[in-house]
Amino acid sequence: MSGFQNIIFDFGNVLFHLDLGATERRLRHLLGDDQFEAARAKLIAADVFNRYETGVLSTEAFIAFLRNATEPTLTEAEVLDAWNAIFIEMPAEYFGLLERLRERYRVFLLSNINDLHARWIDQYMVERHQRSNFRQRYFDAVYYSHEVGLRKPDERIYSYVLQDAGLRPEETVFIDDLEVNVRAAESVGIRGIVKTPDMDMAQLMRTFLAH
């Protein structure tokens, strides 16, 4: 792939390793299977997760929804612990590679994410990697769904990024671990790469640097 000037990265399981089943396992442990399923049904019916990830619900309202949907009622600390259990790590070598990429390309982050997870990541970057300016140092701009009010694979979020950043779609490549998100980006003219579990992300970034 050549001829591109802009790289848009997804975050979860592209740059940051996640265990997406960890929250469910933690909640099942706290509530038991029956109560977990009952709570999940209530939250899905109220569209809580989508509303929180697009910034419609405040963090306070989201926590209250989770606590009130469960029997027994969970504490706020239990909710936060379970909700943030998905995070594993961002490999340290990625930081240097991102800095090198920014010398040659415009580099962006586009993530379906919520306020609690964004706060956790910012704190992690400081405590684990001593980087308090993570977003500004490694990206030309960061687009989080809860701040933009749109989420992938809605085509409008890709069009928003292109317009906001002044990007030409044919000069832009987007990397995401979900094929549905990549195909949606391609539908507006962006070139896409599906990050499969066996793909070496560091090697992919080095490939960009070799062009």
The model carries a pTM of 0.95
Closest CA to 195 of 174, 167, 175, 170: 175
Pairing of strands 172-176, 191-194: parallel
> How far is it, in rounded angstroms, from Cα 201 to Cα 45?
36
- pLDDT tier at 208 (50, 70, 90 boundaries)? very high
For 21-54, what is each residue's pLDDT tens digit?
Answer: 999 999 999 999 999 999 999 999 999 999 999 9
Amino acid at 208: F
Q: CA neighbours within 13 Å on the CB side: how many for 45?
A: 7
The DSSP output letter for 16 is B
- pLDDT tier at 110 (50, 70, 90 boundaries)? very high
For 72-108, what is each residue's pLDDT tens digit?
Answer: 899 999 999 999 999 999 999 999 999 999 999 999 9
Q: CA neighbours within 13 Å on the CB side: how many for 96?
A: 6
Report how far Cα 26 is from the mean position of its chain's Cα atoms: 20
The DSSP output letter for 189 is T
> How far is it, in rounded angstroms, from Cα 122 to Cα 10?
16
